Structure 1
């Protein structure tokens, strides 16, 4: 306890030394200041005292914001202040939201707001996970009915061992990278990616995460006992009296079973809504104040019957059993001007997906608290209102769309070639044209087909499946390929993506507050079988990437120059590189490491541009053969100019095989010869060999 009334707790989680403080800052709220190294994050939690009249849901709002000043920078926007949330902030916000939302009890309808503000950011720390820890601690100390203690942790598998709270350098080498939230009762939320991990690896990682989080959960429980506010009592929501509920149930039971047997989503919903209206109208003695209670009772009976059919009869809303995948059909290359395209349909869910190959200057630059990052693979997920037969204004992507796109991107990223091997910026665009559940997984499947249609050399095809769960007492059913209503009425949404060899991405949310281990194991095994079936169906359309790029896509040639020669290539005010592009009709990009890529639909023009690039950069590679002009003949050898300003010496012993009496007997000034670059001497002068270049084919000459 500090002298100013603040309370501080310290804990080590894996490789992270973390400090939590309450009572000194933001004292009008339940607040926790989280510190690790130079990172400082303020997390606050505030709840309204009463629910708004008519509210029948839990209005939780979570916000995560990174102050650019936290990294010692000024925002790059015109107004030089933070604007709306960035994509990275939204993804971090979703991690916090999904970690705490399931831990509030049913029937709690007071508005709650959780804010995480990054005040100081150390690049070696995990801002999102620290925010989860702060949110769980702040809610535990509050008067809100938060059913903790809980916490969040990042787990990576590196070199065959599991590491908790790895640093960014370690994460780049990780075979498995998961963010896990858990309470003392079990798993709450999982999000992450992998390099074709096995199901056993995932289970082991999640059990390891739960073990690592136990000390933090104990800390929160002890801290709450010392500093926490008394928890407010949960007032039960009013319900229809037992007699009227029994009357409604007797009227509804048999007609509802018939309605639930209708396979089509819209037809089923229309019949159920009509039936609920008929039963409500026929129920006698309902006053105006009881109308909402009747509506709630009817909906509860509806949900209970859906769940009963699944766990007792093994029959789902569309008539499937628990493991059957909906019928799948797909097409590839159906949009003539798109570089790559697919149409993926699974039941009543459908995605139109395109893939576009772009040049290096089309890379996405992302401003973060630490600086600017570049992204070469983009995936955009769109969910228009017509996909569910609704009307609403078209605005920018919401949090859900950004989250679904990030999951699909992570699933496909694992099988993409490196940028050096395939130097294109890739953009996947997924338009959900019809939806009845698992639309993000349709994006993964359709995205894979579009990439292969584009000729992108994937290491393996990827498919995704959404798993569900219905648990009633000791009875439970794990569902493969869930419908939208099964997501809404069920207890879990567990998305698993991967190849035939292993998992590349997964995302799990549940409404139980905690997920038992045996359910996790069963869901992963069932997902593996479902994934294998989907991959087999996709292979009927396209089993491997096409051998050639589409004719309308740009071709790329690449070379590498020394980083110190980048300025020479660009030229003053960019004039040199602009001239190369305009004179050849190509695009030229260069990164900070000296990788130069030339993009053009005309192969001859691209080669001409590459030659101009090498001339402008004045750079040569050791071990390559170049064409050059003899500029001088001396007793000890001859000088050869490869590019303007780039000359080297061919020593007399390197002019030809055997003894050379004098260089002039082999070459004359002005001769065009081939030379092999042996390297440079201690003064940086090029050492060349005509003898070693003899017999080089024209195609192997670098310039």
Structure 2
């Protein structure tokens, strides 16, 4: 009989329940967690202890959703769940980021966390359950962990901050963020918004903190009831006394090299300084094979201390900027000759080549998830980070980092992209990172926005993004400096990575990762306000380059037209077996879709083909008008006249007497089958028959000739 332990915490009108002792008992830690109808099994396992200490935490998170959780069978040819979907990768990152800093490097073992969604009521989001379940599984396991962490989703609906909103509530939200933290403070925030204020963001984070604290307390109670004794850490004690003289010699070299201008120049200067140290102490280093690794760690420590001290004491950064100073920015648009829209955005040594492509409804992205019915998106942003962007060789792959950065940039721009009913195009933006030294995701936001405007996409407002950093000192973080537009080194050596994107009106996307506990509301408020100043500076430069969307879309983009036909005429437009609409599409060189309500979407290869398709469709639904001249085609010739098609499916008779002012012996003397001619509709009789005149449609001078 299983010895089941259970704890719960009330969230809103439901309870989040953690259970252990019944499922997956061979894992180091396993928790079955559920909130109403959404349930997750989270497990954690660790590998064997390595022979040597390592300087990183080898943890991996594999969040996965089973289709059976929502009573579904996977679509497509394969009926087994395949490679991770983008959503699963994004949730894995949400779990990994707040947990990774709380594992001890000295543990050294590989750690794998697997949260599996096994039930989804398509009402309550399972990703939040998964984050909490993963933390609880590690907390009660024998793996050393300085947690727990907890997470909630916060949405601003109307004027109310809703904790863990349902799928049905989220479309109404002006702000949608996931907030994670420990019992002591917030450590991660990520989400999007519809141009909300900085105060709205601070209030949303504040609303999350009490609930996070309660969930952490429930996990700690679970640990008291059934937690395992923790495995020992590796003995990493090392004799580092030999480094004292090395450090004294290396410090001035390291300090000088750390402030060389230019990323690659600085890296070269640091490498030269390290080689001088190695040459000076070659015999000492050679005495023990472990000393090379200890020396590398010493270099990292020196750089860490030098850069942080310079910022805290002197307000000088590694590239010589002041703490609020933004790197030089250049913007170019229309840089590629045949794309629909393109832009090159360069900020310091970070550069994005952003390209916008406009497509038709057939190009929409389909999502088949457990969240609900299949859904379609007409806006997507893809981010590519090739190895040459940092001067390296490597494989061209799309990893978790690329998916995460692309998703953040997409959320930043989604708030300003027009709805499909007003701009019926599928929009794809691709950001190719050409150079990288800090916040390429925010460069993708800026470049992507410029390329959208260059393509003529009628976005509501320009969007810019900026990455902020934080350097603190002291246990109470009483001394701190907030950095605007951080470099790669400042991200790596700092205490916070804080990305904000938005318009001049408010925030559209937000991501924050904090490496220390207890960042105060004061620090967060100051960082948000400083980020706003930087964002407005960048927006000013962008709008000087291109102030708004171009009035016309690119000549290379497909032309999309929308018209409405009466519902009773839908059958006539489609024709028997689709014959009519297929014929129009072929003649015009366009794609045509018709909805049940009579809405017709025309996708032309260019404007001419779209307009021709529109003309042909309108001619079908047009009612013949007496006195109007039509351009028709001779279909049949009989002894007494010719039958001429003036509109698709509508023929009239041109009597032989109406071919000329003089007597005509044979119709074929004037008209031939297949000939295109102008005719005038002179009568619609009681039987709705159309009577046409050829001679009355002729220009006046030709009519005079016919009299002779």
The TM-score, its normalising length taken from structure 2, stands at: 0.84
3-state DSSP class of the match of 1:540?
helix
Counterpart for residue 379 of structure 1: 381
Does 2:225 correspond to 1:226? Answer: yes
- Deviation by residue 1:568-620 (Cα, 9 ceiling, x = unmatched): 9777876655433222111224568875421225545424434655788x8xx
Change over 3 Å in CA distance of 1:643–1:570 after alignment to 2: closer
Report which stretch shifted further, 452-461 or 103-112: 103-112
TM-superposed deviation, 1:40:
2.1
- Deviation by residue 1:673-699 (Cα, 9 ceiling, x = unmatched): xxxxxxxxxxxxxxxxxxxxxxxxxxx
Aligned residues: 630
Change over 3 Å in CA distance of 1:33–1:563 after alignment to 2: farther
Report which stretch shifted further, 370-379 or 57-66: 370-379
- Deviation by residue 1:9-35 (Cα, 9 ceiling, x = unmatched): 232223543222111000112111122
Is this contact kept in 1: 2:54–2:106, CA < 8 A? no
Residue from 11, 14, 25 that aligns with 2:12: 14
Residue from 489, 493, 507 that aligns with 1:485: 489
Counterpart for residue 388 of structure 1: 390
TM-superposed deviation, 1:498:
0.2
Is this contact kept in 2: 1:332–1:343, CA < 8 A? yes
Does 2:477 correspond to 1:476? Answer: no
Is this contact kept in 2: 1:466–1:494, CA < 8 A? yes
3-state DSSP class of the match of 1:134?
helix
Counterpart for residue 342 of structure 1: 343
Change over 3 Å in CA distance of 1:252–1:363 after alignment to 2: same
Counterpart for residue 188 of structure 1: 187
Report which stretch shifted further, 30-39 or 445-454: 30-39
Is this contact kept in 2: 1:40–1:119, CA < 8 A? yes
Does 2:152 correspond to 1:150? Answer: no
Change over 3 Å in CA distance of 1:567–1:629 after alignment to 2: closer
Is this contact kept in 2: 1:8–1:21, CA < 8 A? yes
Change over 3 Å in CA distance of 1:580–1:478 after alignment to 2: same
Counterpart for residue 4 of structure 1: 2
Change over 3 Å in CA distance of 1:186–1:576 after alignment to 2: farther
Change over 3 Å in CA distance of 1:574–1:90 after alignment to 2: farther
Change over 3 Å in CA distance of 1:274–1:358 after alignment to 2: same
Report which stretch shifted further, 401-410 or 30-39: 30-39
Is this contact kept in 2: 1:328–1:537, CA < 8 A? yes
Does 2:400 correspond to 1:399? Answer: yes
- Deviation by residue 1:500-533 (Cα, 9 ceiling, x = unmatched): 1110001111222453322211211110000000
3-state DSSP class of the match of 2:545?
coil
Report which stretch shifted further, 56-65 or 483-492: 483-492
Query: Matched residues in 2 for 1:496 and 1:551: separation?
Result: 34
- Deviation by residue 1:99-133 (Cα, 9 ceiling, x = unmatched): 31122245443211100111122211112111101
Is this contact kept in 2: 1:10–1:20, CA < 8 A? yes
Mapping of 1:544-555 within 5 angstroms? 544-555=548-559
Change over 3 Å in CA distance of 1:324–1:574 after alignment to 2: farther
Query: Matched residues in 2 for 1:433 and 1:546: separation?
Result: 25
Is this contact kept in 1: 2:555–2:606, CA < 8 A? no
Change over 3 Å in CA distance of 1:387–1:368 after alignment to 2: same
TM-superposed deviation, 1:172:
0.2
Is this contact kept in 2: 1:103–1:147, CA < 8 A? yes
Counterpart for residue 97 of structure 1: 96
Query: Matched residues in 1 for 2:157 and 2:363: separation?
Result: 33
Is this contact kept in 1: 2:496–2:515, CA < 8 A? yes
Counterpart for residue 271 of structure 2: 273
Query: Matched residues in 2 for 1:189 and 1:448: separation?
Result: 26
Counterpart for residue 537 of structure 1: 541
Does 2:421 correspond to 1:423? Answer: no
Does 2:523 correspond to 1:527? Answer: no
Counterpart for residue 703 of structure 2: none
Structure 2 unaligned residues grouped into runs of 5+: 627-646, 651-682, 691-708
Is this contact kept in 2: 1:154–1:177, CA < 8 A? yes
Counterpart for residue 64 of structure 1: 63
3-state DSSP class of the match of 1:285?
helix
3-state DSSP class of the match of 1:597?
strand
Is this contact kept in 1: 2:54–2:105, CA < 8 A? no
Change over 3 Å in CA distance of 1:490–1:240 after alignment to 2: farther
Query: Matched residues in 2 for 1:564 and 1:144: separation?
Result: 70
Change over 3 Å in CA distance of 1:614–1:88 after alignment to 2: farther
3-state DSSP class of the match of 2:362?
helix
Counterpart for residue 312 of structure 2: 311
Mapping of 1:674-693 within 5 angstroms? none
3-state DSSP class of the match of 1:32?
strand
TM-superposed deviation, 1:394:
2.0
Query: Matched residues in 1 for 2:242 and 2:112: separation?
Result: 37
- Deviation by residue 1:411-464 (Cα, 9 ceiling, x = unmatched): 000011111001100010111111111111111000000011111111110000
Counterpart for residue 256 of structure 1: 254
Is this contact kept in 2: 1:14–1:212, CA < 8 A? no
Query: Matched residues in 1 for 2:482 and 2:593: separation?
Result: 50
3-state DSSP class of the match of 2:368?
strand
Query: Matched residues in 2 for 1:84 and 1:572: separation?
Result: 43
Query: Matched residues in 2 for 1:452 and 1:117: separation?
Result: 41
Mapping of 1:294-693 within 5 angstroms? 294-369=295-370, 370-395=372-397, 397-473=398-474, 474-559=478-563, 577-589=581-593, 595-603=599-607, 605-610=609-614, 627=623, 670=688
3-state DSSP class of the match of 2:168?
helix
3-state DSSP class of the match of 1:250?
helix
Change over 3 Å in CA distance of 1:290–1:158 after alignment to 2: same
Is this contact kept in 2: 1:555–1:599, CA < 8 A? yes
Query: Matched residues in 2 for 1:35 and 1:577: separation?
Result: 52
Query: Matched residues in 2 for 1:254 and 1:591: separation?
Result: 73
Report which stretch shifted further, 97-106 or 229-238: 229-238
Query: Matched residues in 2 for 1:275 and 1:601: separation?
Result: 60
TM-superposed deviation, 1:178:
0.4
3-state DSSP class of the match of 1:525?
helix
Change over 3 Å in CA distance of 1:161–1:604 after alignment to 2: same
Structure 1 unaligned residues grouped into runs of 5+: 619-625, 631-641, 646-664, 673-703
Counterpart for residue 656 of structure 1: none
Counterpart for residue 686 of structure 1: none
Change over 3 Å in CA distance of 1:320–1:214 after alignment to 2: same
Change over 3 Å in CA distance of 1:667–1:573 after alignment to 2: closer
TM-superposed deviation, 1:367:
2.0
Is this contact kept in 1: 2:473–2:480, CA < 8 A? yes
TM-superposed deviation, 1:314:
1.2
TM-superposed deviation, 1:549:
1.4
Counterpart for residue 243 of structure 2: 245
Query: Matched residues in 1 for 2:394 and 2:501: separation?
Result: 31
RMSD of the alignment, in Å? 2.7
Query: Matched residues in 2 for 1:587 and 1:259: separation?
Result: 61
3-state DSSP class of the match of 1:391?
coil
Change over 3 Å in CA distance of 1:507–1:613 after alignment to 2: farther
TM-superposed deviation, 1:76:
2.4
Is this contact kept in 1: 2:557–2:606, CA < 8 A? no
Change over 3 Å in CA distance of 1:256–1:455 after alignment to 2: same
